[in-house]
Amino acid sequence: MPQSKEVTIYDIARVLKVSPATVSRGLQNHPHTSPKTKKKILATARQMGYRHNQSARNLTSKKSHTIGVIVPALTSHFMFCVVDGIEKVANKEGYNLIISQSSELSAREADSAKSLFNNRVDGLLASLALDSADLSNFDIFFKKNIPVILFDRVIEHSNCTNILINNHKAAYDATTHLIMQGYERIVHLSAPFRQNIYTERLAGYQQALADHNIKFRKEYLIIENMTMEAGAGAANTLLKLKNRPDSVFAADDSCAIGCMIALKKKGIKIPEDIAFVGFNNDPSCKVVEPNLTTIHYSGHEVGEIAARLLINHLNGIASIHETKTVILRHELIVRESSLNPNKGLKPIK
Amino acid sequence: MPQSKEVTIYDIARVLKVSPATVSRGLQNHPHTSPKTKKKILATARQMGYRHNQSARNLTSKKSHTIGVIVPALTSHFMFCVVDGIEKVANKEGYNLIISQSSELSAREADSAKSLFNNRVDGLLASLALDSADLSNFDIFFKKNIPVILFDRVIEHSNCTNILINNHKAAYDATTHLIMQGYERIVHLSAPFRQNIYTERLAGYQQALADHNIKFRKEYLIIENMTMEAGAGAANTLLKLKNRPDSVFAADDSCAIGCMIALKKKGIKIPEDIAFVGFNNDPSCKVVEPNLTTIHYSGHEVGEIAARLLINHLNGIASIHETKTVILRHELIVRESSLNPNKGLKPIK
DNA sequence: TTGTAGGCGTTATCAT
DNA sequence: ATGATAACGCCTACAA
């Protein structure tokens, strides 16, 4: 098993009878290099099977060419897409990735941050854990001026650029859609209201109610984790309400679907008895019956933009500090779960 | 934005009035170091905010501490879990990951392989693209004696360790289950028979038929891509068969689910008219109605074992060459889609 | 345009 | 047990 020796720029230099410096310059088409020698260098490099040594480059450049990613969990299709988007851009730009999960725990988020910090990542892309109330976990990065970009679950902070959708508007759209279908007793199923995505969605929901003269009832707020199991639990809570709701706007598809399935098992008809709108456009939306109306926004886009922004910043092409917030497009995708067969369309106000 | 200077072992040495070599040894608890100085070194290192420089280490060790991963696509929950499992182990062991997708194309697999090769990954974990007929894409790795471990979609090869389940047995179990439920006209819905996972599943299916004196009909073989859309297409093919099948064993859940949904839209009842068994235990199995019976095996386990094996090999703890094949456990998970309400249990033979 | 030489942070091989 | 020193492969002033 002989680990055949690697070709270095010295080897190429020797063959071409030039200095290693010239080879180095030729390889990275440095401005002050004659096209001829550059061509020669490139040719023999290829022919000799030269591969650059990133570690050596990192050593001189004092960079790791590595980006850290912290996500709450890799269990949703959405986060999957985000990471995929990040991966694509990072790959193309010659950056490596270290991905870690906080498991929705601020304490583990701190561990991840520390670990990535010790790995000397050049920058960080993160989405906050459910119980992270501030950005103190990232202070080590701020102190060393390492760029941090937050996506989806964010907190406004002078040191961070944020990438997200207009959650308020999205929730407003979703709720209004239910109202337009003739629903009035709308439950909002969401997670503990700490993260922006949940507080904003709540606010959007409330605004839509207000704009259509529907009184907000706090007993119509059901707080759960956003899992299928939690959704099933929510179904019980929901059925016990004195004033039986006629619809649900959930802040997450999985939770909505868990709830739908549990209700259906008890003989509740959807959307006849209770209509549903979810959030995230999980693939399961098209499997559950009836198909789930939901808010779609592209995880790939989130990931790609986050990575692009960070890498441009690292490469000095553009500064993060010029763009504090990026708001991406969202879209309401209407499916049967929210189409009211009885009441039809109803005018606003 | 001053990029505060990094602490090196020289700085620590200076403070402690010892040589950098001693610090280096102390930091990696080298056998020949006095416990006292070691303790001092560790203490001041922490206190000074020292972080090791992986690139410098890589340079001297002639390793990248990076593992390459090639998957056909990151669109299934299963592959998601595999990558997650790899990530967990690699993270803990201080290895970085470069993940790339072949998009089920051998040509892109070749590109990925080349790219990872140029990135000097220390080892490779791969699952083959749908149209990869041999391992020639990985010859560059074999030539340089860089370890390659294949998982799930594999080909036997003297240079590779393989990690997979007993697909033959799994398919046999699935098919037998349908037979025991009283089904006899069993369609097998699968992908082009090139990869082991599909040929083996076909063989297991055929063996089960044979063992129960059911004649194999080649018109009961439907070849599609393993997507929901393809499954919907398969539904049409299936309905056109002269001898209407009473059940389907699909080599993939998504495909099965797409097929089920399409059939249901045409008024076919499941499992009364046609029963279903899938493969992979995708989360959607518990969303579709009726819930889909399937073969489960742990993606996390696949990923963790693959990574563990590779890293142990790289660290010289154990050699890959001692273990040529790892067969993991699988399990039939019975759900309503395959429970025959009419015919009940039927004796074998 | 090209060459020289020093440095990036660490490890390993010698000595001591 | 510790110290000096030479790699590791590449980049970049600076000099020519």
Chain segment A145-157, per-residue pLDDT in tens: 999 999 999 999 9
Interface contact A97, partner B, CB < 8 A? yes
The answer to whether B243 CB sits below 7 Å from nucleic acid chain C is: no
CA angle B249, B293, B267 (to 5 degrees): 75
pLDDT of residue A5: 83
A27/D9 CA-to-C1' distance in Å: 14
Judge whether A5 is closer than 8 Å to chain B, CB to CB.
no
Find the mean pLDDT for residues A283-305: 98
pLDDT value at position B349? 33
Rounded CA separation B8/A289 (Å): 61
A240 touches chain B (CB under 8 A): no
- Using the beta-carbon criterion (under 8 Å), do B99 and A97 form an inter-chain contact? yes
From the list A55, A98, A99, the residue facing B58 with the nearest CB is A55
Average pLDDT of the residues in A206-234: 96
Radius of gyration of chain B (CA): 26
Strand D: which positions are within 7 A of a protein CB?
1-5, 7-13
pLDDT at B192: 93
Residues of chain B falling short of pLDDT 50: 1-2, 346-349
Question: Does the CB of B327 have a partner CB in chain A at under 8 Å?
Answer: no
Q: How far is the CA of B320 from the C1' of C11 (A)?
A: 27
> Is A1's Cβ below 8 Å from some Cβ in B?
yes
In whole angstroms, D2 C1' to B316 CA is 29
Answer whether A4 sits within 8 Å of B91, measured CB to CB: no
Per residue in A250-271, pLDDT (tens digit) is 999 999 999 999 999 999 999 9
Strand C close residues, chain A 49-88, CB < 7 angstroms: 56, 59-60, 62
- The pLDDT score that the predictor gives to residue A31 is 87
From CA A276, how far away is CA B57, in angstroms rounded? Answer: 55
Instruction: Give the nucleotide at minimum CA-to-C1' distance from B32.
Output: D1
CA distance A14 to chain B (A): 22
Is 50 exceeded by the pLDDT of residue A347?
A: no
Q: Kindly report, residue by residue over A187-211, the tens digit of the pLDDT.
A: 999 999 999 999 999 999 999 999 9
pLDDT at position B343, please?
65
Render pLDDT for A170-193 as a digit per residue (tens, 0 to 9). 999 999 999 999 999 999 999 999
